[in-house]
């Protein structure tokens, strides 16, 4: 039996944020990334717990779709915690929170820098998402043009 190839991302979300999760997964796949998402990959007749184990262990990085729905749900904590446990310092960027709703992460999750899509239009949200996930290489987010002079 062969070991399945790792996917680039697992999208962790609360069911109330399904539209955001699917939009994020779609944009990532359109950009050439591979994604695990419950809505598309957990099929009828499958075992939810085993599917979740495969998604969390066979993904290089986890995207946590942040909202109050996510932060207040019971089961999402173990999903982001699995990525956090593999990269507690954040040096490898294995846990990428993406804020889609007004919320304030607390505890350990508060220290993780998130990608903020709150209030952006579709084009800017896509640009932010794709530029901030930055592939598997961790790169600075320096703009391509000089900033305006503040004085």
> What is the Cα Rg of the chain in Å?
16
Write out the H or E segment, with its range, that includes residue 122. Answer: helix 122-133
pLDDT averaged over the chain?
88
What pLDDT is attached to residue 135? 52
Give the tens place of pLDDT for each residue, 62-86.
Answer: 999 999 999 999 889 989 999 999 9
How far is C-alpha 109 from the chain's CA centre? 13
Give the start-to-end residue ranges of the domains of the chain. Answer: 7-133
Single pTM value for the model = 0.85
Both tokens of 54, joined, read 């495969």
Q: How many residues does the chain have?
A: 151
What pLDDT is attached to residue 103? 94
Distance CA 24, CA 18 (A): 10
Architecture of the domain delimited by 7-133: 3-Layer(aba) Sandwich (3.40)
């Amino acid at each position: 039996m062969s070991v399945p190839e790792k996917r680039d991302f697992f999208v962790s979300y609360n069911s109330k944020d399904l539209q955001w999760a699917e939009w994020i997964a779609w944009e990532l796949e359109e950009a050439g990334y591979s994604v695990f998402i419950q809505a598309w990959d957990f099929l009828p007749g499958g075992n939810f717990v085993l599917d979740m184990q495969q998604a969390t262990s066979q993904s290089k990085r986890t995207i946590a779709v942040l909202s109050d729905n996510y932060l207040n749900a019971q089961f999402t904590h173990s999903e982001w915690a699995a990525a956090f446990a593999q990269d507690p310092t954040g040096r490898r960027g294995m846990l990428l929170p993406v804020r889609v709703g007004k919320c304030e992460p607390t505890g350990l999750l508060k220290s993780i820098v998130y990608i903020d899509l709150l209030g952006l239009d579709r084009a800017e949200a896509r640009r932010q998402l794709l530029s901030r996930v930055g592939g598997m290489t961790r790169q600075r987010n320096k703009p391509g043009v000089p900033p305006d002079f503040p004085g």
